[in-house]
Every structure is written in C-alpha cells, then in structure tokens.
A = this chain, B = another copy of it.
Amino acid sequence: MDDIDRALVLRLQQDAGQSYAALGTAVGLSAGATHERVRKLRERGVIRRTTIDVDPAAVGSGVLAYVMVDSNAWMGESADDFAAIPEIQEAHIIAGSASVLVKVRTASTEQLQDVLRRLYAIDGVSGTHATVVLDSFFERPLPL
C-alpha cells in the first residue's frame, strides 16, 4: 500500500470505468503493471468490488432518515433481523444511550413510518428515534 496504490484507489473511486492505460499514465505505470497492481488490491480486499453510484431519488428512495434504535437486550446477534428490512441501507452497533443506528431510505414518509413499525417488531427493540434528513450537503468517497 504505497503512494501509487493510493493514487489508483483514489482514481478508481472517481471513475472505475477508465482504461488501465489511462490509469497507468496518470500514476506513471504501464497498462500491464497497473492491471497487476489493481488485481492485488482486489486480492487483498482493499478493493471489495466495482459498483455504480445510483441517484436514490431516481429509484424511488427520495426520503432519507437516520433512526436511533433503543433496546432492552443485547442486539449483537440481530444483524439478520435488520438486514431483512430492505429499506435499511446501513445498521451499526453504537456506543451511547441507543444501541443501534440505522440509515433508512424510502419513497415517502408513510413508508418510513412502516419501517419504524417493522423495527419495533424486532426482538429486543424497545424504542426508536427517527431523524429525517431535509437536505444532503454531500455524500462522497473515503478520504485517502
């Protein structure tokens, strides 16, 4: 993981569709060497996969909310219960008064309410506190 690797990751985050030749020129390598570097970055798990960045509003997920989930039991084994709710994009165990923090995207506030209902149905969940996002400043890739 040297400077060249970091430069490659950075550039691939910005555009994973460019050719290895272009990528190589940008970092000062041949296409072949670039290909080999990227292959190893995948192998090591630094690069998990190549994907697309989708506009949430365009696919019916215009409402974004974060929900603090309170519980009266250990939630460490409940990952599957949260994963079973497709509108949940992220779920994390947190330190603090609440136990779990989830990121939810829905088409409407009515659907958000329905997600809250399904959250309450999870074993151990004793309460929720939803924070609706009014406007997103930005969502961007990791720093390097």
Contact = CB atoms under 8 A, between A and B. Distances in A.
A73 interface: no
Name the residue among A53, A78, A132, A140 with the largest chain B CB count within 10 angstroms.
A53
A9 interface: yes
Interface in A1-40: 1, 6, 9, 12-17
Number of copies: 2
Interface residues of A, number: 60
A61 B142 contact: yes
A121 interface: no
A105 B143 contact: yes
B51 A82 contact: no
B53 A47 contact: yes
Contact of A58 (B46, B58, B86, B138): B46
Contact of A53 (B50, B96, B100): B50
Contact of A9 (B16, B54, B93, B133): B54
Contacts of A98: 131
